[in-house]
Amino acid sequence: MAFADFLVHTCTITLPGKEQTGVDDWGRPIYQDKQPIDNVPCRFITKNSNVFDEVSQNFIFTTSLLLLPTQAIDEEMIITNIKDVNGYVLDARKFSVKEILPRYDASELVNWRLEIKGAK
């Protein structure tokens, strides 16, 4: 089974920065914000853990996203529109990257694991 078959969800990724979209009448470059990348294959994972202290029990939820190694990523990117294979929205929140965790097999990059959090 290929890793791409494991990515059963899609998301929209907006990378930070600007890109040149053309030139004006005097030959100066025109820049606009980067366009969102739709339908990026991914795997959306939520995990809850029990944490006990001397007073009570708390639940901690961690949310992560798996992406192909060829996907462009950035610490400042925004992730939205997470859907399942049938197009149903799994989570409508905006997420930002908390931590980027590359996964290697020997010396080759296999996938990106992004620990994500709700964006502000």
Segment 22-51, tens digit of pLDDT: 898 998 999 998 899 999 999 999 887 776
Q: Which two tokens stand for residue 120?
A: 């502000």
Map tokens 């059963």 to a residue. Answer: 8
Give me the sign of the Cα torsion angle 62, 42, 88, 77: positive
Average pLDDT over residues 48-63: 73
Residues contacting 14, CB < 8 A, separation 6+: 34, 36, 37, 77, 78, 80
Helices (H) and strands (E) in the chain, counts: 1, 9
Which helix (H) or strand (E) segment holds residue 5: the answer is helix 3-6
pLDDT, greater one: 95 or 1: 95
Q: Which two tokens stand for residue 69?
A: 């190694």
From first CA to last CA, the distance across the chain in angstroms is 37
Confidence of residue 11 (pLDDT cuts 50, 70, 90): very high
Return the pLDDT at 20: 87
Q: Tell if the pTM clears 0.85, that is, is over it.
A: no
Return the pLDDT at 61: 77
Return the pLDDT at 106: 84
d(CA 76, CA 65): 15
d(CA 12, CA 22): 24
